[in-house]
Chain A
Amino acid sequence: MKILAPVSSLSEALPLIESGARELYCGLSPAAWGKEHGENIWLNRRGPGKANLADSEELEKIVALAHRKETKVFLTMNQPGYVKALYPDLISFVRDTLSIGVDALIMADPGLIRRVKEKEPAAVIHVSSLASVLNSSSIGFFRSLGAQRIIFPRYLDLQVLHKMIEASERDLEFEVFILNDGCVFEEGFCHVSHAFGGAFCHNPAWSYKLREISAGGNKVSRLPAGGETFQQNVDEYKRWLWLGIKNFGGFPGPGGYPLGMCGLCALPALQALGIASLKIVGREASLRKKAAGVKLVRKTLDLLEAGCSESELRERAKELKGVPGLCRSGYMCYYR
């Protein structure tokens, strides 16, 4: 299994590769795109700023460097859907990026995938988690469009992943999330934009009033058996948000490794499933956090490759992460 790391500048590429990444992904936010289409229409799911590379020259240099180090570079074009006015520029953009050697394009829009494969049959397409590929029939749909890799959405448990992969053709690669950043809701079915004040769902201020449904004036409520009040449930939800979704406020653990969502304990199972690539989330994160994440996954993979048993690996991964109490809560686990 290869480690796939986010990169948002040329200066990050070498340290990430030296830390153990064998695949890099990035986005591009060229000035000409913003000038033509405005600041609200983004080429990928991250806006102009530190998450994206500024220009194709920088991308070209990253690709050249990565290829010298036998590392592949993938480019995000992962909006769930692009309107037709953007298509001429998108196709031209695809041609330019392929010509400089980008190894694959990460996409979610089925129409764009179809059009790119028509225009550039050699383009390698990875289907983004934004496409919400949750079942084997959906894998079949995107395979029929010419996709070569499926990036599974978060929180598909190991049993479901096993069934999906078993039911699919063998000519596809599969990628899963391994570290950092959760999403409360299904990314591909979320109709809000982080551009309008951040994540709608992360907001810890949300207040919930429980309303009972009545039928003909009679309450039909049914309280849970354990006696937990709904407010206690909400308090626990906010704790889960803080630990897993908001990555413990971005603070690292005692060993300097990132906290938050993680799939390290599942590495033996993911290997048995034939997963090709382990994705570390966070293009906008600091290099320090990205490199620490890559090193953490690399160390855990080394243990696996050295023949560490599943239970031993689980314990060692928790030791590396440095917060066994939080690990035991399960609130930082992608695969529970």
Chain B
Amino acid sequence: MEWALAIPQGINLKRLDDPWAESALTPVAHVRAVMEKVLGPVRFSRLYFGQEFCEKALPAAGELEEVLAAAHAAGLAFTLVTPYVTETALARSEELLERLVRLAPRAEVVVNDWGLLYLLSRKFPTLVPVLGRLMNKILRDPRLSGYRLGKGEVSTPFQMSYLAGPAMQTLLEEFKVRRIELDYPPQGLDPHLPDWGYRSSLYVPLAVITTGRICLMNAWGMEKEEKFKTSRQACDRKCRFYWLEMSDPSGQVRKSRDWRIVQKGNTVFYLQREDFLAKGLEEAARTGVNRIVFQPEPI
């Protein structure tokens, strides 16, 4: 198993020295214990840098350079993680890729936007594209229950993905995508994941429920007429200082022993508790997942 350590921003670089340092959001020691119990000793050999959710949090080129140098010094392979981007951030994304290709021409780039995949294939053919976890379209609905959940060796429709179909396999082959990324969904991983035809990565311990360009945290403190707007580019990045614990007193989304629902910045996640996390890692090992991405802070 390959282990990747994920940091969203340059200010998280100190985690490289101490991957198991406490995190505001993630019970790191518990997660480590589960990972090591299920899969053995964790030795990170790759650094994931960046995040999938917010174009406003794209790193500066200098930040990328600093993190890349630190990864190199630590003997870690490097993966740049990119978010979905509007036209506003497309040029900045391209500048970032230009810098990356100069410094590490064969680095990996996780894409969560068809436009960035297209850009990579046209302008940066040496960089290695990885299809991010927002692109597999597998439901991660905390309300999935009952007969819709997986039952062992037979794939259920909710475990399968369009990525496993011949049409997408051919298309992604043309774009040189050999690796796809996954969350552990409530319904479990497809027992026939090895037949999908890709190498695969699993993120722990946070799985993405939903994400968007309208940000509750960004709106805090703004004048009413400025709240909940996508056109406003200014952001004071309050997501660096706060996160939200969510609960639903109406019971539409029930409390679960498997996870807690949290929001960080513009994205809602379920943070997996120990037994559910262990189950996901066991299934990952069984279904040929060959990279675990440990991401204590998603954004």
Minimum Cβ distance to chain B for residue A155 (Å)? 4
Contact of B250 among A203, A211, A214 (CB under 8 A): A203
Nearest opposing residue in chain B for A164, CB measure: B87
Partner of B85, one of A114, A131, A134: A134
Contacts A142-B114, A200-B253, A213-B243 given; does A83 touch B162 at CB 8 Å: yes
Residues of B145-166 at the interface with A, using a CB-CB cut-off of 8 Å, are: 148, 157-158, 160-166
Residues on A with C-beta less than 8 A from B115 are: 133-141
Residue of B nearest to A139 (CB): B115
Do A203 and B253 have beta carbons less than 8 Å apart?
Answer: yes
Most B-side CB within 10 Å, residue of A84, A139, A220, A329: A84
Option from B163, B221, B268 in Cβ contact (under 8 Å) with A233: B221
Contacts of A141 in B (CB 8 A): 114-115, 117-118
B residues within 8 A CB of A240?
227-228
Is there contact, CB below 8 Å, between A186 and B246? no
Chain A contacts of B209 at CB under 8 A? Answer: 191-192, 200
CA distance A138 to B171 in the complex (A): 15
Contacts of A132-159 to chain B: CB distance below 8 A: 132-142, 144, 155-157, 159
Q: How far is the CA of A138 from the CA of B250 in the complex (A)?
A: 39
Residues from chain A with a CB closer than 8 A to the CB of B223 are: 226
User: 8 Å CB contacts to B: which residues of A151-171?
Assistant: 155-157, 159-160, 163-164, 167
CA distance A112 to B240 in the complex (A): 40
Q: How many residues of A contact B (CB 8 A)?
A: 82
In the complex, how many angstroms separate the beta carbon of B88 from the nearest chain A beta carbon? 6
Asked whether B162 lies within 8 Å of A82 as measured between CB atoms, the reply is: yes
**In contact, B137 and A80 (Cβ under 8 angstroms):** yes
Q: Are B167 and A112 in contact (CB under 8 A)?
A: yes
* CB atoms of A330 and B114 under 8 A apart: no
Of the candidates B87, B141, B162, B167, the one whose C-beta lies within 8 Å of that of A200 is B141
A192 CB contacts on chain B under 8 angstroms? 139-143, 209-210
What distance in Å separates the Cβ of B18 from its nearest Cβ neighbour in chain A?
Answer: 11
**Complex Cα gap A44–B53 (Å):** 26
B249/A207 in contact, CB under 8 A: yes
Q: Mark A200-230, 1 if CB is under 8 A from B, else 0.
A: 1101011111111110000011111110101
**What string of 1s and 0s marks CB contacts (under 8 Å) between B214-229 and chain A?**
1010011111110111
Chain A residues within 8 Å of B85, by CB: 134-135
| Contact (Cβ within 8 A) B214 A230 | no
Residues of B within 8 A of A81 (CB): 136-137, 161-163, 168
Task: Give the A-B contact count at a CB cut-off of 8 A.
Answer: 247
Is B285 positioned at the interface, with any CB of A under 8 Å from its CB? no
Chain B proximity of A148: nearest CB distance (Å): 17
CB distance from B151 to the nearest CB of A (A): 15
| B246-A131 in contact (CB<8A) | no
Q: Which residues of B contact A254 (CB under 8 A)?
A: none
Give Cα distance in the complex from A230 to B242, angstroms.
11
In the complex the two chains form, is B231's CB within 8 Å of A159's CB? yes
Within 8 A of A (CB), among B87-105: 87-90
Beta-carbon contacts under 8 Å, A234-279 to B: 234, 236-237, 240, 244
* Interface residues of B, count at CB 8 A: 78
Please tell me if the beta carbons of B210 and A189 are within 8 angstroms of each other in the complex: yes
Q: Which of B68-102 contact A (CB under 8 A)?
A: 84-90
B238 at the interface (CB under 8 A from A): yes
Which residues of the other chain, A, contact B65 by a CB distance below 8 angstroms?
Answer: none
Compute how far the CA of A330 lies from the CA of B225 in the bound complex, rounded to whole angstroms: 6
Residues from chain B with a CB closer than 8 A to the CB of A135 are 85-87, 89-90, 113, 115
Tell whether, in the assembled complex, residue A205 and residue B252 are in contact, meaning their CB atoms are under 8 Å apart: yes
Q: Cβ of B87 and Cβ of A236 under 8 Å apart?
A: no
Which of B87, B144, B230, B250 is close to A205, meaning CB atoms less than 8 Å apart?
A: B250
B17 CB-CB contact with A under 8 Å? no
Closest-by-CB residue of A relative to B239 is: A213
Q: Give B185 Cβ to nearest chain A Cβ, in Å.
A: 8
Does any Cβ of B come within 8 Å of A184's Cβ? yes
Given known contacts A82-B162, A110-B114, A213-B243, is B224 in contact with A205 (CB within 8 Å)?
no
Question: Roughly how many angstroms separate A201 CA and B263 CA in the complex, as a whole number?
Answer: 12
| With contact pairs A196-B141, A203-B252, A210-B244 given, residues A189 and B118 touching in the complex (Cβ less than 8 Å) | no
Q: Which of A212, A228, A244 contacts B241 (CB 8 A)?
A: A212
Task: Please tell me if the beta carbons of B214 and A236 are within 8 angstroms of each other in the complex.
Answer: no
Q: What residues of chain B have their CB less than 8 Å away from a CB belonging to chain A? A: 24-25, 84-90, 112-119, 134, 136-144, 148, 157-158, 160-168, 170-171, 208-214, 216, 219-225, 227-231, 236, 238, 240-250, 252-253, 263, 268
Nearest 4 Cβ contacts at the A-B interface: A224-B221, A81-B162, A138-B115, A185-B212
A-B contact pairs, 21 of them (CB 8 A): A37-B157, A41-B157, A84-B167, A110-B114, A115-B167, A134-B85, A137-B116, A137-B119, A160-B86, A185-B212, A191-B141, A192-B142, A192-B210, A196-B143, A208-B244, A208-B245, A212-B24, A212-B241, A213-B241, A213-B242, A233-B216
Given A191-B141, A192-B210, A237-B228, 5 further pairs, Cβ under 8 A: A141-B115, A160-B86, A209-B246, A211-B25, A233-B216
